Amino acid sequence: MPFAADILHDVVDSHANQGRGPAFLVLLAFLIAFGFIRTSARLMRSPRVPWWPGSVTTGGGLHIHHLVWGISLMLLSGFVAFATDLQPPWLQIVAVVFGVGAGLTLDEFALWLHLDDVYWSEEGRSSVDAVVLSASFAGLVVMGIRPFGLDEVGSVAGSIAVAAACVAVVGITFLKGRILLGVIAVFIPLVGAFCSLRLAKPSSPWARRRYTGPRAARLARARERFRDDRRGAQLQRRILNLIGGAPSRG
């Protein structure tokens, strides 16, 4: 696999700080940390594995969430990266530490979004969404795809025009509630151009503001298009359950 070999070469290359090597290590450590901590949480939740160690709790009963350790690792590695001129292998070590911290932190994204322990509730689904979005963004960066296709434009004026057009279609994609496709559109503008012409999700800002009055029929079409019981939505839910575990009922 030439692409994988390319990245692995960047990881050990002495000039990796200018390439994709550190980004690949951040992504890999991020995915491993998320996979480990989410699996650990699911094992703690299961009555069939009582031997699995529980969460970290102080003598006074304070539960220390793993996002605390994640934020600490991110702050530490970020400070070291800014304060020193890192060279291999320290550059790679700091990249791994940052990736681990990001994985631990985003696994509890819903907690610092809602300021409540909603890890296993329906609101906790936003943690898995955040991980999927972050991994998608990082993966596109590791692949060497530049935002808005700017590597294909020669002049400064052309770059500004292309960037403005791409920002517009990406913004519309996000406003229409197509978040994952919006992230992809940052790197592949044609995805944003396609989404900007499609129906918005009924709960999106675009639908709330524009699918009113004479356009009310579009809101009805959007609700039909994005029904929770449609096959695509059910498949997406099964995938998210597989990744993050099913939310608690009631």
For the stretch 62-89, pLDDT in tens is: 888 999 999 999 999 999 999 999 889 9
Please state, rounded to an integer, the average pLDDT across all residues of the chain.
Answer: 86
Q: What is the pLDDT of residue 95?
A: 96
The per-residue pLDDT for 157 is 59
**DSSP single-letter state for residue 227:** -
Contact between 214 and 233 under an 8 Å Cβ cutoff? The reply is no
DSSP secondary structure, 23-40, as one string:
HHHHHHHHHHHHHHHHHH
Whose structure tokens read 């791409």? 166
pTM across the whole model: 0.81
> Residue 191: its pLDDT value, please?
92
Quick one: pLDDT at residue 3? 53
Give dist(CA 14, CA 5) in Å, integer: 16
Residues present in the chain in total: 250
pLDDT at 82: 93
Q: In the chain, what are the domain boundaries?
A: 1-144, 147-197, 199-245
Give the residue ranges of the chain where pLDDT is below 70: 1-19, 148-159, 250
Q: What is the pLDDT of residue 18?
A: 53
